[in-house]
Amino acid sequence: MDSSKEKNEVVYSLCDNYVQLSSNIRRHFTLMESYFGFAQVAFEDVLCGRGTPHTVEHHLRNSRTNALQVITIADTLESKMDAFRNLLALSTIDMDALGQGLISKGIVNVRAWKQVTKNARLGGFHKNLLLIRSMATLAIERMNSLSKKMQYLREGKEDITIEQLGNMNLPGSPEVIFAQLRSLLLDFQNIFNAAWILSMEIYHHFHSHVSSIDGYDIAKSVKAG
């Protein structure tokens, strides 16, 4: 096998590996969000008197499991960043120009894009993977707190009425923890989406593919010199 063909096969193998990992982390992120949504619905059922805390716990457990998978895959991507460095060459992209196109199409959140590109300039994809990991870890901590609250309700360890359960003014109210999680996951979703889109745009540029922005030639955002 000649060296150029061998080199191409290595590159294609890395590409396949990167795409697989990127798709898998997005899959588990989506499942984390979905199961949290089911937990929220189950909690509303409890408030309406037609559900049980056990069902809320079940969906939170599934959400946590997928959040842990997000962390695991982020760690795997982190460990492979040196191998992926040519596929994700940030220096080849004008992130501000790219961001303007993405934001104008509603593809990324403005604040999240600024945060992700700032991280990328300071620490490449390593810094964004650390951010994703820390947000997933915080989500897990809050889900654990919420699950414990549901467990206490189920076991009768807390003397609380249905009316009190939905009162956000009570200390440690499940309603407050749900609200905190919704806010966190909304920010997490925007950060994750911006980081994922940035990595995919640069990956597509590496392969001379078109951008995800209709009518936008990603080559136009390549820095001169």
The pLDDT tens digits for 138-164 are: 999 999 999 988 888 888 766 666 666
CB-based contacts of 93: which residues, under 8 Å, 6+ apart? 201, 202, 205, 218, 221, 222, 223
Which of the two residues, 214 and 193, has the higher pLDDT score? 193
Q: Quote the domain boundaries for residue 190.
A: 3-221
- Average pLDDT in the 66-89 region? 79
- What's the CA gap between 104 and 83, in Å, rounded? 33
Predicted local distance difference test score (pLDDT) of residue 5:
44
Going by pLDDT thresholds of 50, 70 and 90, the confidence category of residue 224 is: very low
List, as own/partner pairs, every contact residues 204-211 make where C-beta atoms lie below 8 angstroms and the sequence separation is at least 24, other chains included: 205/92, 205/93, 206/86, 206/87, 206/88, 206/89, 206/92, 207/15, 211/98, 211/101
- What's the CA gap between 14 and 84, in Å, rounded? 7
- What's the CA gap between 120 and 143, in Å, rounded? 29
Contact criterion met (CB below 8 Å) for 116 and 128 = yes
Which of the two residues, 217 and 6, has the higher pLDDT score? 217
- Number of domain units in the chain: 1
At 178-211, the pLDDT tens digits run: 999 999 999 999 999 999 888 877 776 665 555 5
- What's the CA gap between 130 and 125, in Å, rounded? 9
Predicted local distance difference test score (pLDDT) of residue 167:
64
Output the pTM of the full model: 0.81
At 86-135, the pLDDT tens digits run: 545 566 667 788 888 889 889 999 999 999 999 888 877 888 899 999 99
Average pLDDT taken over every residue of the chain = 80
Predicted local distance difference test score (pLDDT) of residue 176:
86
- What's the CA gap between 40 and 186, in Å, rounded? 14
- Average pLDDT in the 38-59 region? 92
Predicted local distance difference test score (pLDDT) of residue 221:
47
Percentage of the chain beyond pLDDT 70 is 70
Element (DSSP H or E) covering residue 204: helix 174-206
Predicted local distance difference test score (pLDDT) of residue 127:
86
Tokens 């923890």 — which residue? 177
Residue 171 has pLDDT above 80, yes or no: no
Which of the two residues, 218 and 70, has the higher pLDDT score? 70
Q: Tell which residue, 65, 13, 37, 1, has the closest CA to residue 189.
A: 37
Contact criterion met (CB below 8 Å) for 178 and 40 = yes
